[in-house]
Amino acid sequence: QVRLVESGGGMVRPGGSLKLSCSASGFIFNDYAMTWYRQAPGRERELVAAISVRSQTDYVDFAKGRFTISRDNAKNMVYLQMNNLRPDDTAVYYCAKVSGPYYYTTRQMDAWGEGTQVTVSP
């Protein structure tokens, strides 16, 4: 029943911006923290940002100052605004539902979207 659907990916030049969206259904959205992860070819899936039910946020170092995670509980949506994109931001970006007290490990995610491709290239 749980479903997460990402959108908003695409190709952008270095320094450009994209806003990703994740539509959630099949669970009480307001009761769960949410995350964005990403995975580049040849690399393991890594956390990008996390947001609590009350919109407290946390970011990994590469995202700080460039990315903003937000949520709209009335719409069951979570967003990732990405600015000043770099080529090494190229990856498939996933939203995920946090199942436990920790958001920094994929093992605590119990639902994933299929991902949206972000490509940063000149």
Q: What are phi and psi of 43, to 5 degrees?
A: -120, 160
What is the structure's pLDDT at 3? 98
Q: Which amino acid is at 114?
A: E
Cβ proximity of 21 and 77 under 8 Å: yes
* Sequence-separated (6 or more) residues with CB below 8 Å from residue 41: none
Beta bridge partners of 72: 77
User: What confidence tens digit (pLDDT) does each residue in 48-86 have?
Assistant: 999 999 999 999 999 999 999 999 999 999 999 999 999
What is the structure's pLDDT at 38? 98
Chain centre to alpha carbon of residue 39: 11
In the DSSP assignment, the letter for residue 23 is: E
User: What confidence tens digit (pLDDT) does each residue in 2-42 have?
Assistant: 999 999 999 999 999 999 999 999 999 999 999 999 999 99
Instruction: Work out the mean pLDDT of the chain and round it to a whole number.
Output: 97
What is the structure's pLDDT at 25? 98
